[in-house]
Chains A and B, each alone.
Chain A
Amino acid sequence: MTSSLFSMTNGLRHLSLLAAGLVLSAAASLYADSVIVSSADDPYNGEADSTQSGTISKITRDELTLKDKAGLDVVIETNRVIETHFNDEPVNLQVARSAIDAAQYEDALRKLADIPKGEAETASEFVKQDLDFYRAQASGLLALSGHPEMTLRKAGSRLNDFVRNNADSWHYYEANRLLGRILVAMEDSANAKSFFENLQKAPWPDVKVEGSIALANLLLNEGNVDDAEKAYNEVLAAADAPGVDRQKAYARIGLAKIASFRKENDASKALFQEVIDNSDPDDVDLQATLYNAMGEAAERSGDPKAAIVAFLHVDLLYSTASAEHISALRHLSKLWKQQLRDDRAAEALAILRERYKINN
């Protein structure tokens, strides 16, 4: 489960942000603060739609208030905000944001660490919030990618600090979402639950539903199949709203897994196929989750070849979803060995070793 804003069409978004960043770097000194806002019609496409300039006067977890050049207050819902740029922010903060967009988390952390202490300390509260968030976010994403030196514990601690101290940041939900994922990776369902519950408290239907899906996934992980099924079905029954469809796809994946656990293989396959037929093939996170779930279901049903085909989808097409990719490679190395293809098992292990520095 990941943020809708941060997960989709990363490449395009990165390009558009770079372009926006270039404009901003020239404009930042002439105008005051800027906010890159996604399209109001479709706030989930993740592409920069417009840049609004002025002075950011107030930020809460749900809304951001910008005083524009005419002196009028413009209130922007934070689920539409892609990025903010503050007049007094260090250049390295801009660079770090771009680095995170390009999945260069180590670079982002380096850039943030390079900001002189004095400059960071004298920055405005909003800038400090940004600095803290991006540091925590880069750490979290780095840890989830399996980086050997950034442990989940360390990243989790940074994110936890951020959530605790910045309840009114516009990054609040994203931080909760990421912290929840990290806790899931640490198999700490009890704590993860509270952060996913925070998502349910958001004012937007899709984020609420996203929280429900995350909680349902936790139930499933704990083996509480019946409650998980109920929770997924509740999501499917949710009223239509932008972004909710995507969450319903996750609910179907969850239900397909449940069917597979119950050895109802045909039902499971039908649900997976429904997601394939109705989802965006470029939605990397969703597709990676889908194919890994399919692979695991195929393994359970004793069809290693179908499992290999499913996991290879993640390896070959959706490898930018790091955590899912790592999982797929681990499955593949095992499956290839079973198929007596040590050469291919070695290939999978080599990717784990070289890209993720994982030796087992």
Chain B
Amino acid sequence: MYRIDPGRTDLAEEFRRNPFGPHSAELQKVLNVMRWEPIEGKYVLVNTVPHKEWCLAQLPGKRGVPVTLHEDVVFTDLGEAEWYIFRLRWKKHTGVDPDQASQ
């Protein structure tokens, strides 16, 4: 199984610049790993104001149990919001926040 290399901040940077793709083959490998996320606790985005505002949230994994909204983490740009999710999942797999690692 492919393991995300925390040193490949170039791939994180590629995602930040172009979150919706198409992505390079190497970045696609990273994304494939990240997308195998279990539903319970998964970080997702909630479009709270149609076409204008997205809020960080976590899924409960069971129908009827409320979705947890992190109302202090709100975005007005969907690309920035996707980048935030990317950072969270990158950190989960590597232990490092790619935003800080690249600075």
A and B found bound together = no
Q: Which residues of A contact B (CB under 8 A)?
A: none
Residues of B within 8 A of A (CB): none
